[in-house]
A and B are shown apart, each in its own frame.
Chain A
Amino acid sequence: MSEKALSRFEQPISVPGRRLLHHIPLHFVVKKVVGGGHRASNHEIPLIPFIDFLLCIVLFLLASFSASGELPIDKNVQLPKAENVLDMTEAPMVAITGTQILVDGVPAGNTRAIEEANRLQRIDELFNILKNKRELWKQINPGKEFPGVAILQVDKKVPALVVKSVFQTAAFAGFPNISFMVGRLGGPGGEGGGH
């Protein structure tokens, strides 16, 4: 009784398996798929080496991933290029764009007074900001020696008088180790400019 009842609901079509090779009566298809004496046209994609390859790429990209993103370069600043350069380092960024001076994007005075006076002078606003940065670093890292590194991002057309004034102001504020941000000019970009 129960068998009869079951047979009413018996599924005439079974769930298809993964392979087409053995249960298909189309012999010419079977022959074709297994190769028919020639090279088999049925191929397995080698997934494991592919995954290994992808994992290697992921690891490389993760290792070179920078969460801080691109270096903040002002669009108005055209940097000069040099050959004997060093890799960039993390330090306060002093940018000179046109007549404005920025420290990490914050306005820190302008260059008009220097150009009008036509002599080397200290920029007070810049001096105060850099001095505060130095003191903050010392509070955060007690007992450690302050590296005194600052990076100047200067447009290639800025006169040397302004560069020297900013340079000297930074040195007076406790940043004597100044680097100029430049582009790499050709070649492998060997090491240079201090150690």
Chain B
Amino acid sequence: MAGIDTGGGHGKGRATNHEIPLIPFIDFLLCLVAFLLVTAVWSQMARINADARVPGPPKPDEEVEKQQKEKQLHVEMRGERKFQLVWKEGSTVVNTIDVERKPVKVGEETRYPDLAKKISEEWTANGSHRAGTDQKLDQAVLHTDNSTQFHDVIAVIDAIYTPQRDWNPPGGGAPKKIPSFNVTFAVN
């Protein structure tokens, strides 16, 4: 067993040699391990981002900069048989691509791998923000039917987030992979 041996201990005073009680210590550690294991949270939850591009409370002290019109990818999911990908610059339609709506079941979830593939190809061909130093993301606008169920909306957002690009954080640090698009909802 573990102990503290000072080499003395023959005098009349209190003994200087001590045995460390390891067994109670191990019991204590085991109790601690058991408690922490029981109370541990093994969460599988995550989040998927969306950006609301609607005006918030006005800030009179900030001057609104006039922004150059950028290409935006509008993902139309109102059709029952197909998705429509529309590249727009402001209100000008640049290009329209139809993608067949082929849902693939993964367990209980619906996925759209064809849509994800097509969006990746489209971003490679037409994406504006590719450089790692570019802090902006390309914008995707999702158009949904009012009655579309939420899990279908998430499946399409997930497909939009499939293409990824390198990104260097502004304060330095290791480059990261981030999605190429930022998703928002169309109001109409």
Interface residues as binary, A29-67 with B (CB distance below 8 Å gives 1, 0 otherwise): 000000000000000000110110011011001101110
Q: A192 with B48: in contact, given A47-B2, A118-B146 (CB under 8 Å)?
A: yes
Interface residues as binary, B48-63 with A (CB distance below 8 Å gives 1, 0 otherwise): 1111111011000000
Q: Are A160 and B106 in contact (CB under 8 A)?
A: no
Q: Which of B4-12, B32-40, B86-94 contacts A (4 or more CB under 8 A)?
A: B32-40
The answer to whether the Cβ of A86 comes within 8 Å of any Cβ in the partner chain is: yes
Interface residues as binary, A149-166 with B (CB distance below 8 Å gives 1, 0 otherwise): 001001111111101100
The answer to whether the Cβ of B174 comes within 8 Å of any Cβ in the partner chain is: no
Partner of A61, one of B40, B147, B162, B167: B40
User: What residue in chain B is nearest A83 (Cβ atoms)?
Assistant: B158
Complex Cα spacing A81 to B177, Å: 21
Q: Which residues of B contact A194 (CB under 8 A)?
A: 49, 51, 137, 178-179, 182
Interface residues as binary, A184-195 with B (CB distance below 8 Å gives 1, 0 otherwise): 111001111111
User: What residue in chain B is nearest A178 (Cβ atoms)?
Assistant: B50
**Number of A-B residue pairs having CB atoms within 8 Å of each other in the complex:** 197
The answer to whether the Cβ of B64 comes within 8 Å of any Cβ in the partner chain is: no
What is the minimal beta-carbon distance from B159 to any residue of chain A, in angstroms?
9
Q: A151 with B47: in contact, given A54-B30, A82-B158 (CB under 8 Å)?
A: yes
Q: Are B46 and A160 in contact (CB under 8 A)?
A: no
Q: Are A58 and B33 in contact (CB under 8 A)?
A: yes
Please give the number of chain B residues whose Cβ is less than 8 angstroms from any Cβ of chain A in the complex: 57
The answer to whether the Cβ of B145 comes within 8 Å of any Cβ in the partner chain is: yes
Interface residues as binary, A119-158 with B (CB distance below 8 Å gives 1, 0 otherwise): 1100000000000000000000000000010010011111
Chain A contact patch, size range: 35 or more
Q: Are A158 and B149 in contact (CB under 8 A)?
A: yes
Complex Cα spacing A30 to B32, Å: 40
Q: Which of B21-29, B95-103, B121-129 contacts A (4 or more CB under 8 A)?
A: B21-29
Q: Are A88 and B36 in contact (CB under 8 A)?
A: no
Partner of A86, one of B22, B49, B149, B183: B49
Q: Are B153 and A163 in contact (CB under 8 A)?
A: yes
Q: Are A82 and B154 in contact (CB under 8 A)?
A: yes
Q: A176 with B43: in contact, given A47-B2, A58-B32, A80-B150 (CB under 8 Å)?
A: no
Q: A55 with B29: in contact, given A70-B41, A80-B150, A84-B161 (CB under 8 Å)?
A: yes
The answer to whether the Cβ of B75 comes within 8 Å of any Cβ in the partner chain is: no
The answer to whether the Cβ of B45 comes within 8 Å of any Cβ in the partner chain is: yes
Q: Which residues of A contact B2 (CB under 8 A)?
A: 47-48
Q: Which residues of A contact B22 (CB under 8 A)?
A: 47, 51
Q: Which residues of B contact A184 (CB under 8 A)?
A: 44-46
Q: Which residues of A contact B187 (CB under 8 A)?
A: 120, 164, 168
Q: Are A167 and B46 in contact (CB under 8 A)?
A: no
Q: Quick one: which of B132-154 are within 8 Å of A by CB?
A: 137, 144-151, 153-154
User: What residue in chain A is nearest B35 (Cβ atoms)?
Assistant: A61
The answer to whether the Cβ of A170 comes within 8 Å of any Cβ in the partner chain is: yes
Q: A161 with B146: in contact, given A86-B46, A156-B151, A192-B161 (CB under 8 Å)?
A: yes
Complex Cα spacing A51 to B151, Å: 48
Q: Are B36 and A80 in contact (CB under 8 A)?
A: no
The answer to whether the Cβ of B70 comes within 8 Å of any Cβ in the partner chain is: no
User: What residue in chain B is nearest A65 (Cβ atoms)?
Assistant: B36
Partner of A54, one of B33, B46, B56, B182: B33
Given contacts A86-B48, A182-B47, 11 further A-B contacts (CB under 8 A): A54-B33, A64-B40, A71-B41, A71-B43, A85-B48, A88-B43, A163-B153, A172-B54, A191-B177, A193-B161, A193-B179
